[in-house]
Amino acid sequence: MLVDDWTPTKISNWCAQQGWQSLLVEGGSHVQASFAAAGLVDEVIWYLAPTLFGGTALPAIQGPTKPQALAFQAPVVTPLGDNLKVQWQRKVVD
């Protein structure tokens, strides 16, 4: 992801300079892939509903950046009626 000279790292640094401690990133698979490739994903939250859609949609994370494996802890699953909230925290690497 690149908007003018804004990159995920520059966006994260700017947010930190503002005193912000967290950033919600919503976007398509390329935006998500750019933040993941920069190592800027600390938490993933998915909401799952018992509904299937057909079509040719892209994966949640796909882009031109080099794939990077990020390790997460076991998920916390919260039922929300018929839906699920699944939340992962990134493992801390010493």
Confidence (pTM): 0.75
Average of per-residue pLDDT across 14-37: 89
Phi (first) and psi of residue 12, to 5 degrees: -60, -45
* Lookup: tokens for 89: 């925290």
Q: What is the mean pLDDT of the chain?
A: 86
Structure tokens at 7: 């990159």
The DSSP symbol for 90 reads B
Q: What is the pLDDT of residue 28?
A: 82
Q: What are phi and psi of 28, to 5 degrees?
A: -80, -175
- Taking the alpha carbons at both ends of the chain, their separation in whole angstroms is 28
